Amino acid sequence: MKKIKLFLMMTALVILTASCNKYVYKGQKIGILELKNNSISTIQQVVVNDSIYGTLNPGKSMEIKLVPGIYKWQLKGVNGEGCNLTFGTIVAGYTQSFNCSVK
């Protein structure tokens, strides 16, 4: 019975540790910036602090792991319309979400 309890406790500890690792990258505590393209047909270019991270098709999202700090980000329409430049703070252990909706 003690072996079963020990096994269950160790399993719970492994699961808990794994869920916390979402906010640890290379031993450093990080935050996550989650960007979502809610437009119907516009492909959006993902730009964070003037660096291009890729593109998002309509309805898709992207998670970017960042060290805590103040950032600026924007989803720019590849063929025109996009969302305004946004400033925000990334906090270790949390996810900052941003949705962009254009026609």
Mean pLDDT per block of 10 residues along the chain (103 residues) reads 65 51 77 93 94 95 95 90 91 92 77
User: Is the model's pTM score more than 0.85?
Assistant: no
Cα(61)–Cα(52) distance, integer angstroms: 15
Cα(68)–Cα(44) distance, integer angstroms: 25
Domain layout of the chain by residue ranges: 23-100
What's the DSSP call for residue 22?
G
| 3-state class (DSSP) for residue 11 | helix
Q: What type of residue is 14?
A: V
| H-helix segments, 1-103 | 2-20
Task: Quote the pLDDT of residue 57.
Answer: 94
Task: Quote the pLDDT of residue 79.
Answer: 81
Task: Quote the pLDDT of residue 16.
Answer: 45
The domain at 23-100 falls in which architecture?
Sandwich (2.60)
